[in-house]
Amino acid sequence: MSEIYELKKVFTPSRPARVTFVDRIDLNDDVVTALEMPGTQLVIFGHTGTGKSTLLENLLFRVYEKQINTNCMKGMTFEEIVLDAFDQLGEFYVDEVVNAKKCSVNARMKLTYLSIQTQIQSNLESQDTEKQKRFLPPQLTPQGLGRLLGEAGYCWVLEDFHKIEGVEKEKLTQMMKVFVNMSDKYEDLKLIALGAVSTAREVVKTDREMRRRVTEIHVKLMSDEEIKKIISKGCKALNIIIPDDLQNDIVHYSNGLAAICHKLCYLMCDAAVIKSTLEESVEFNYSDLQDALKKYIKGEEDTIKDAFDRALKVNQVDNTIRVIAHHDQDGARLNELFNWAKDHQIKITKKKLESDLEQLQHENYGEIIKYDGNSDKFSFSDPFYRSFALAYYEERDKKNSKKVSEADLMKIFNQAFRSFSIHVASEDYILETREGEVPEEL
CA distances from 432 to 128, 331, 437 (A): 59, 18, 5
3 in helix, strand or coil?
A: coil
pLDDT tens track for 39-54: 888 999 887 788 888 9
User: How much is the average pLDDT of 216-222?
Assistant: 86
Question: Sign of the C-alpha dihedral, residues 252, 255, 256, 258?
Answer: negative
User: How much is the average pLDDT of 223-233?
Assistant: 95
What pLDDT was estimated at residue 416? Answer: 67
Between 334 and 63, the higher pLDDT residue: 334
Domains of the chain are 23-218 (3.40.50.300), 222-284 (1.10.8), 300-434 (no CATH)
Per-residue pLDDT band for 266 (boundaries 50, 70, 90) equals very high
Angle at the Cα of 296 from the Cα atoms of 58 and 438, rounded to 5 degrees: 100
Check: CB of residue 148 under 8 Å from CB of residue 139. Answer: no
User: How buried is residue 427: exposed, middle or buried, by Cβ count under 10 Å (0-12/13-18/19+)?
Assistant: exposed
Beta-sheet strand order (sheet of 41-45) = 67-71, 155-159, 191-195, 41-45, 214-218
The pLDDT of residue 389 is above 50: yes
Counting residues of the chain whose pLDDT is more than 70, the rounded percentage is 84
What pLDDT was estimated at residue 438? Answer: 38
d(CA 150, CA 166): 27
Per-residue pLDDT band for 339 (boundaries 50, 70, 90) equals very high
pLDDT tens track for 301-320: 888 889 998 999 999 999 99
Check: CB of residue 181 under 8 Å from CB of residue 142. Answer: no
What pLDDT was estimated at residue 138? Answer: 87
Counting residues of the chain whose pLDDT is more than 90, the rounded percentage is 42
The pLDDT of residue 1 is above 50: no
Total residues belonging to the chain: 442
Q: Which residues contact 128 (CB under 8 A, 6 or more apart)?
A: none
CA distances from 429 to 250, 285, 439, 440, 442 (A): 13, 15, 6, 9, 12
Q: Which residues contact 30 (CB under 8 A, 6 or more apart)?
A: 215, 217
Binning the chain into helix, strand and coil, the percentages to the nearest 5 are 55, 10, 35
What pLDDT was estimated at residue 421? Answer: 63
Amino acid at 435: E
User: What does the DSSP assignment read for 134-173?
Assistant: E---TT-SHHHHHHHHHHHT-EEEEETGGG--HHHHHHHH
d(CA 288, CA 284): 6
What pLDDT was estimated at residue 314? Answer: 94
Check: CB of residue 194 under 8 Å from CB of residue 161. Answer: yes
**Cα first-last separation, the chain:** 50
Report which of 266, 293, 389 is spatially closest to residue 9, judged by C-alpha positions: 266
